[in-house]
Amino acid sequence: MAGFALAQLFVGPVSDHFGRKPVMVAGLALFLAASLLCVVAPTIEWLLVGRFLQAFGGAAGPVLARAAVRDIYDPIAAGRALSHMASTMAL
């Protein structure tokens, strides 16, 4: 949870600077590398580090999805699309 929460503070501004796609690819690569770390973790501490990094990399998806909606739609349509996304996530 902490990794996911912290990553949301960084992913948005970084994607504004470098673009959405490179940040998404980097987030997925970090998630994959952290997953492999979890598989080979020799101790619980390494497993916790891997899980933290998984959350940090996994935060790119939801953050960039919301940012892409704001990029694509006008403010009224973006609000509608974001509300649909939120209600779908709640299910």
- Joined together, the tokens standing for residue 65 give 């999805």
Cα–Cα distance measured from residue 89 to residue 45, given in angstroms and rounded to the nearest whole number: 31
Phi, psi of 32, rounded to the nearest 5 degrees = -65, -45
End-to-end CA gap in the chain: 20
For a pLDDT cut of 70, what percent of the chain falls above it? 100
pTM for the whole structure: 0.83
Residue 23 has pLDDT above 90, yes or no: yes
Cα–Cα distance measured from residue 28 to residue 55, given in angstroms and rounded to the nearest whole number: 11
* pLDDT score for 33: 98
